[in-house]
Structure formats: structure tokens, C-alpha cells
Amino acid sequence: MKRIAVLIVLVTSTLVSMAQNKPGTWSVIPHVGVSISSLLGGSGIYEVVDNMIVEVKPHALLGFVGGADVMYQASDAVGLSAGLSFVQAGCKLEDYTDEHTTVYDRYLRINYVSMPILVHNKLLPGLKVGIEPTCLFNANNHEVQQSYEVDKEGKKSNFHEDEFTIDMKNGMRKFGLSIPVGVSYEYENVVLGALYHVGVFNI
């Protein structure tokens, strides 16, 4: 299957137990932000529709991310952090239409609990890199199917809609790993940051 890629944009407020950013000090960093994710590998996802194999291209899906980190300032230039986060990932899928059916609002939503472990370098503009083990929380595939009749003039009538949400957790990898690389900017105990994650394993 595919690997997942997630861009996380964070607005991070920093709470410090000792003097801010001095070597040997600890910080507790709650964070909240937005995730933008999609699937990598190959040209798309393939599904069977009316006994035909159809390619469905994945697109970016917005989600939520939030959690907290504990950071140790090892030196003036280098800090180490580890934390726990809830991350919404997945992808949107293209709509499908034939003569009597339209399928829309299609997305794969994958929720993870992750443990980011990062090295922060203040000499380079807020550069951070590390590893992030993940644990699958749940995964659902959603779509709305609209069927209708079409007369000889092409006019549609007798519309009927069904909404489907399918539990995909049993078909997904339960534990994963990603490589986060990002940058951040800090001003008066508020940190703005962005992290790009590429999944190491297929999902």
C-alpha cells in the first residue's frame, strides 16, 4: 500500500520551569496546529467499480494535531525534546460519476498517537529533525453515494443518497515510524513551526 506524508503547522506556546533556553533547563511545550496529509507511492489507489478497476488519485486532507513536549536545553545551540501528540492524517479521494451515480465527500481519515523525538538546532534557523514512532488510533473510509434516474433529455430525477463510513483499522499497520524535519521561529515564549513527516513504512 502507500506511505503517508504529513505537513504539520504548529502554533506552540512554551511554559518554562526555569530560565528560558539556558543550558541545563527544562521546558514543557504544549502545542496545537493543523496537519496537511496525503499518500505517497505510485500514481493512485485502485478500486473495483462495476467490475472495472478504476484509479482514484489521493489529494491533501486537512486535520488537527495537538499534544505536548518536554524539552531539555543541552547547550546554547542544541535542545532535545520528546513528547506525545494526537495527529489526524489521511487523504481526500476524487469524486466518481457515471450515468446514474455520483460518489462524493470521499476521504480516508487515519488518526495516530505519536511520540516525536527531536533535536533542535538554534544556530540554523530553528532547524529540527528526529524520529517519530506512531500508534494507530483508528482509521475510517468515508463517502456519500448519490443515485438518480436520467431521462432521454438528460434531466435527473428521483435522487437518493446513502452515507457510508467503513472501519479500516484492521487493514492498516498498527505501528509506524516517520522522519520529521522542520523549522520554527520563537518570539516571547510563542513558537511558530512547521514539520514535514515522511512515513518510513507502508500504511
The candidate with the shortest Cα–Cα distance to 161, out of 104, 119, 91, is 104
Distances (CA, A) of 62 to 4, 102, 187: 13, 23, 26
DSSP string, 161-175: EEEEEEE-GGGS-SE
Provide mean pLDDT across the span 2-12. Answer: 81
What pTM, to 2 d.p., does this model score? 0.83
What pLDDT is recorded for position 196?
Answer: 94
Mean pLDDT of 97-103: 82
pLDDT digits (tens, 9 = 90+) for 44-64: 565 655 666 667 788 999 999
**Could you give the CA distance from residue 35 to residue 191 in angstroms, rounded to a whole number?**
16
pLDDT at 185 over 70: yes
Q: What pLDDT sits at residue 17?
A: 46
Cell triple for 70 = 518536554
Amino acid at 168: M
- Rounded average pLDDT over 175-199: 89
* Surface-to-core class of residue 69, CB atoms within 10 Å of its CB (0-12 exposed, 13-18 middle, 19+ buried): buried
Give tens-digit pLDDT for 73-88. 999 889 999 999 999 9
pLDDT score at 41: 67
